[in-house]
Every structure is written in C-alpha cells, then in structure tokens.
Structure 1
Amino acid sequence: MRQSGSRTSVVEIILAILLPPLAVFLHDGIGTSFWINIILTLLFVLPGIIHALLVVTDTI
C-alpha cells in the first residue's frame, strides 16, 4: 500500500498511541495487520500500541 521510501507523519505516530487500530487502518487499510491490532488492543492496550507503532514506522 505504501512505498518503502515514504516517511511517517507525526499524526500517524500520535494516532498509534491514542487510537492504535485507526492508525494501522490509515497506514495499511483493512488487512492482516489491522485485525491483529484490533485483537491486541481489545486484549491489552499496550501491545496494541506497540504493534501500531511498529506498523506505522514500517519496522514490521
């Protein structure tokens, strides 16, 4: 969805902290990462935030 050379915006990082599934959705759309993040956020919030930050910064 995103090109590998794109830069992460500050808004995406803030959304990843406040609303992790929304940040993942805006970055990748509805896909595997989105559903994994929904599950992680519903179980425990901190893993959802960590996963969202990893997805938004293109670490994983």
Structure 2
Amino acid sequence: MPFTCSDICKIILAIILPPLGVLAEKGCGVDLLINIALTILGFIPGIIHALYIIFKY
C-alpha cells in the first residue's frame, strides 16, 4: 500500500510528538491514552507505538 502525503505528515508528527501522530490517525480514544502513557514513561516507546498505529491503519 503506497504512502500518501498525509501519511508522511503523520509519520513526521509521530517522531516529533508521538501523541499528535496517533491523534491524527485514530482520533481521541484508547490508543491515544496508551500513547500518552508510553510517551510519559519514555519517549522512544511512544514513538514506536505511534509508528505502529500509523503503519497498521
């Protein structure tokens, strides 16, 4: 499945501030809360989770 411009923007958001990337992909929900918790616990796990959410959906 090819990437679109919005996917690239979401990936950049996920690297800079992971919850914004998840918010742009899935909206406000459980995935956003999980990502916020992971970002607070460690920045790298938040990035990994955000990229996983973006690539999965």
Question: In which range does the TM-score fall when normalised by the shorter chain?
Answer: 0.7 to 0.9
Q: Which runs of 5+ in 2 are unaligned?
A: none
Instruction: Indicate the percent of aligned positions where both proteins have the same amino acid.
Output: 48
Runs (4+) of structure 1 exceeding 3 A deviation are none
Query: Within 2, Cα distance between the matches of 1:29 and 1:15?
Result: 14
Matched, 1:28 2:52: no
**Across the two proteins, how many residue pairs are aligned to each other?**
55
* Shift of residue 58, structure 1, vs aligned partner: 1.2
Q: Which runs of 5+ in 1 are unaligned?
A: none
TM-score when normalising by structure 1 = 0.81
2:17 to 16, 19, 31: 19
More helix by share: 2
